[in-house]
Amino acid sequence: MGDLVGIAVPGGSGTSGTYGSAIYGDLSDGTAVCDGSTAVAGMSRSGNVYTLSRDCSYASLTVNNGITVMGSAYRLAGTALVNNGTISGLAPNNGATGGNGGAGITPAGGGSPIIGNVPGAAAGANGGTGNGANGVSIGSPSLGGAGGAGGTGVTTTAGTGGSAPAGNSYGTFHNGFNALGPFLNSGVALRGQANAYGGAGGGAGGGDATNNGGGGGSGGIPVWVAFKTITGTGTITAPGGNGGNGAVASTLGAGGGGGGGGGWVVVISSSVIANAIAGQTITAPGGTGGTHSGATATDGAQGAAGNIYLIPN
């Protein structure tokens, strides 16, 4: 888990927020159930995975067990959320075994206010036969985690993980976000106002002069959720991609790729009590490092976790 920050919204009383009901939107998407077969307004579906195609506001949204809803950097809002499944940003890209790093991610919602018109998560480095390449750093400010370093090869060095400059951290997020005011009630998309990047990419593992080290994992995409009440037993998460393993063919030693840094999670709700939401597991983990091959190489490092902001309102 990343830094868990229970926030009394600036300008508030210290026990509740000042965004009010407008933050939950106009509820124009009605009542919806994500069950793996039913169409839902504002989302596309592929099997048990639903993906937002715009900002959405529901009077009631239920996410069933075994179902994943991917925010794709759009805002997911409404009055009542029953989450028994998983809500995430987008699936991160894992590094390949003895190959390329996970690609950076520019979500369909790339113009949304949580990340602006910029890539949401940085790429992992490509594995090669020589020294490991460094993971791609993410822009500033970032609320996500740094990428993990790759592992060393038999005679080669590891790539460093990409950095995730914190900037003014929550202050940056809040100042830009607060300027938006009510979003869906106005009928205006109000995009690109508050930039806060996701996770950085993992470094590549060093090769053995013939075989490649593992590729680094991509960073994680941010998640933004605002519902008046949140119940159920589910997960809200923004994971980084896993590092790839060193090339299997290497007997001398190829290093594993580093994990990508976690994205970040913001949840705004009256259900936030004592820095938690009952029944919900909320995480922004870095990706795991890849394992090395051969006798003298090392594993990649796990990416750093991103930040989690639970805001009572």
pLDDT in tens, the chain (313 residues): 333 333 333 333 223 455 677 778 889 999 999 999 999 999 999 999 999 988 889 999 999 999 999 987 788 999 999 999 999 988 888 988 888 888 877 655 443 334 433 346 788 899 999 999 999 888 766 778 899 999 999 999 999 998 987 644 444 344 334 333 333 233 323 233 345 678 889 999 999 999 999 999 998 888 889 999 999 999 999 999 999 999 988 888 999 999 999 988 888 899 999 889 999 999 999 999 999 999 889 999 999 998 887 888 8
What's residue 195's pLDDT? 55
What's residue 141's pLDDT? 67
What's residue 45's pLDDT? 97
* pTM reported for the whole predicted model: 0.86
What's residue 9's pLDDT? 36
What's residue 106's pLDDT? 62
Residue 166: HSE in the Cβ half-sphere, 13 Å Cα cutoff:
9
From the list 76, 121, 120, 112, the residue with the least C-alpha distance to 192 is 112
Other CB atoms within a 10 A radius of the CB of residue 70 amount to 24
Q: Match 């590729």 to its residue by tokens.
A: 215
What's residue 99's pLDDT? 83
Q: Residue 160 in contact with residue 200, Cβ under 8 Å?
A: no
The amino acid at 154: V
What's residue 295's pLDDT? 84
Give the tokens for residue 216: 């680094």
What's residue 25's pLDDT? 83
What's residue 166's pLDDT? 65
Is-cis flag, bond preceding 141, omega within 30?
Answer: yes
Q: How far apart are CA 117 and CA 76, in angstroms?
A: 18
- Tell me the CA distances in angstroms from 181 to 23, 24, 80, one per residue in order: 8, 11, 21
Give the tokens for residue 283: 């995480």
What's residue 239's pLDDT? 93
